[in-house]
Structure 1
């Protein structure tokens, strides 16, 4: 076979399958709801505390409980996506967490609110591993980072729209946001069921027809050194990400005397808008770089996070609001570059049969670390320790997460 024929064959092998971009579009909305529903709570702290008495450590414990349950069940959720229908897992997850969001509008006690956060952790644990694995099935190399980036942009849109929680709480009461978005999610699950499909086995690039028992899968992944490097990288970003999501609205309100609405939008909108640009730019750049170098997908987040870490530190120390907002933009862009490439990098270091389970393990460890960050902020606040300290610690985590990527070596071409 000639060189031109080999090149043409390889391009065909890595081209996206039919319906590939439709799948990305459908899941964009789901990813938006996934994060919107979970971060609504953090942007309406004062309104919720006024309606349901609790301390700051209790408020931090709400996010901590969600993350612990979400993290613990993520590997199991990922394995279900590897073992059963990815689209089926996504549909069930969306329907259940939207119902829980809807029910949250009617809670009246702290224990009831805590129970809804736990149930949300259970229901959302299955979604991200299944969605990213399904996108990786449809996008087989040449568009994988961009497709992942577009999907993750929905997540960031959801986090940015989370700022609506403060406005809705101020104008319509804290329960209104949970009611509106819960009902919408249930309705969208019905629509999604008509269009979402798995890749037919005969079209799957890896021809995966056998499934592996859960404990055997965990044993294989547990021996994968590259996976553990990625897990440590992701965990450090999880600490920084959840510290900012949970406590930056409170930090801005207290340090700059902002309203709940303005603090919520400032803490989320700028950073997530930049992250939207980051996932798209990072995805395009990584796809192109990977054609010339096997570690191209690794280089993009490695460089972005390393350069962004000083700006994360400045955001916790500046007394000028526009400088803080600018630093959040830099951090958001770098985080987006990482998010668009995590599943594509995982596809280079893990067996295709274990893709979703591997991502579940990443989520498991990262969410436990993120839970510590969420609770630690409340624990420090109860003891009159400034929230800037946990935000400064996040800067060192971002720097180390970027440096760790330099040690990751792909075991597979894609």
Structure 2
């Protein structure tokens, strides 16, 4: 198969894998009232379950990035798909809270493998003028999964019980794993992208692990993800339950309309990524194009604060459609910022560290949300979320830049071992 055709097929498989990745994690939030009744927990208990996933996610994300840089995208992605599908299957077969919690933790430990592997693939297979678009199409699987999840999960649960809502996506994930093992290959070593072959890019200078921690851009990305990621985690873990418990929607109605914010978020994230690629094709420096786009989208984030003041369900859906588009614009294009600020051999590690930091922020925020929901209601939560992306925009503009490793070229083995 021609490399120009294979790269889009690979992109399609990654899209499918990430769709199922997000469906698996979304099942808990969509079935929140059902599972609360099944296992007997309140919002604090739900926050604990969400954090079991998120703590594992935060801990494993940096490890996943290192594994991708050490062993390659093919094997790590395959291991990840099999592991998270097995965890979802286990959750669907269990009948005790303890076992359910265990498999939720296993899901959190396995799902981070997808994103460092995906970024490594995009960086290796696509040039800069296509990179943001390819990355956004690929990562859009997350919000596409969140979009598909409400009607799929609600339909399965209402038709065959909540166990089926876990078992069916898990089975589909194992099918994707088989297809990935047959289709994925690294690009040919002599394929030229932006004036360099793959061999030249992989063998070029790169940071060691200690050197990465001395770069200003890494610390900027970590702070940005810690501050901004919790807003998207709220959309994933709390919004479906909020629409049922505060806006009065039934599970069947969630299946009918709960996907709307995620569809708009997907379209917004892809559209803004294409806008930044267009700026690059028109002569803008790639990193500056991403910054301009992200700062612009952050200006829309404060609309979140209006949610408790305008409580009608239709208004809530509109507000979180806009908020979701802001979140995905940042999640999609911050990966591209990493790819353009760091050498190819470092991008998976940097994304892993950053993703873990974002998940750690979500752990803190989830605990805050659970406590605030019980004690004061949701108003204070929305007020905090309204300012997080504007703060992240200031950090992005002032702390990120292209980072150059020491002039002496390091071998791949030295970088991976450090």
TM-score, length-normalised on structure 1? 0.89
Q: Select which of 337, 342, 353 maps to 2:345.
A: 353
Q: Select which of 36, 47, 50 maps to 1:63.
A: 50
Report the counterpart of residue 298 of structure 2 in structure 1.
305
Structure 2 runs not aligned, ≥5 long: 192-197, 405-418
Does 2:280 align with 1:287?
A: no
Number of residue-to-residue matches in the alignment: 392
Report the counterpart of residue 264 of structure 2 in structure 1.
274
Please say if residues 206 and 352 of structure 1, whose CA atoms lie closer than 8 Å, have aligned partners that are also in contact.
no
The alpha carbon displacement at 1:160 in A equals 1.3
The alpha carbon displacement at 1:279 in A equals 2.4
Please say if residues 165 and 177 of structure 1, whose CA atoms lie closer than 8 Å, have aligned partners that are also in contact.
yes
Report the counterpart of residue 202 of structure 2 in structure 1.
208
Report the counterpart of residue 195 of structure 2 in structure 1.
none
TM-aligned CA distance change 1:191 to 1:252, over 3 Å: same
Please say if residues 24 and 151 of structure 1, whose CA atoms lie closer than 8 Å, have aligned partners that are also in contact.
yes
**Aligned partners of 2:37 and 2:297: how far apart in 1?**
40
The alpha carbon displacement at 1:205 in A equals 6.8
Please say if residues 71 and 365 of structure 1, whose CA atoms lie closer than 8 Å, have aligned partners that are also in contact.
yes
Q: Which deviates further from its counterpart, 137-146 or 390-399?
A: 390-399
Does 2:177 align with 1:185?
A: no
TM-aligned CA distance change 1:138 to 1:390, over 3 Å: same
Report the counterpart of residue 260 of structure 1 in structure 2.
251
The alpha carbon displacement at 1:219 in A equals 1.3
Please say if residues 231 and 327 of structure 2, whose CA atoms lie closer than 8 Å, have aligned partners that are also in contact.
no
Q: Select which of 369, 372, 387 maps to 2:378.
A: 387
Report the counterpart of residue 369 of structure 1 in structure 2.
361
The alpha carbon displacement at 1:412 in A equals 6.1
The alpha carbon displacement at 1:42 in A equals 0.7
Matches within 5 A, 1:13-412: 19-163=6-150, 164-203=152-191, 204=198, 206-209=200-203, 217-263=208-254, 266=257, 268-291=258-281, 292-294=283-285, 295-306=288-299, 308-383=300-375, 385-411=376-402
Q: Which deviates further from its counterpart, 176-185 or 45-54?
A: 45-54
Q: Which deviates further from its counterpart, 79-88 or 227-236?
A: 227-236
TM-aligned CA distance change 1:210 to 1:303, over 3 Å: closer
Report the counterpart of residue 5 of structure 1 in structure 2.
none
Please say if residues 340 and 402 of structure 2, whose CA atoms lie closer than 8 Å, have aligned partners that are also in contact.
yes
**Aligned partners of 1:226 and 1:305: how far apart in 2?**
19
SS of 2:31 mapped into structure 1: helix
**Aligned partners of 1:365 and 1:70: how far apart in 2?**
10
The alpha carbon displacement at 1:161 in A equals 1.7
SS of 1:189 mapped into structure 2: helix
Report the counterpart of residue 408 of structure 2 in structure 1.
none
CA deviations on 1:294-350 (whole Å, 9 max, x unpaired) are 2012211111122x1222112243122222211112112222322331221112222
CA RMSD of aligned residues (A): 2.1
Structure 1 runs not aligned, ≥5 long: 1-15
**Aligned partners of 2:369 and 2:246: how far apart in 1?**
15
Please say if residues 94 and 185 of structure 1, whose CA atoms lie closer than 8 Å, have aligned partners that are also in contact.
yes
The alpha carbon displacement at 1:111 in A equals 1.3
Please say if residues 146 and 340 of structure 1, whose CA atoms lie closer than 8 Å, have aligned partners that are also in contact.
no
Runs of 4+ residues over 3 Å off in structure 1: 200-203, 209-212, 263-266
**Aligned partners of 2:186 and 2:309: how far apart in 1?**
48
TM-score, length-normalised on structure 2? 0.88
**Aligned partners of 1:159 and 1:374: how far apart in 2?**
18
Q: Which deviates further from its counterpart, 253-262 or 54-63?
A: 253-262
**Aligned partners of 2:144 and 2:175: how far apart in 1?**
19
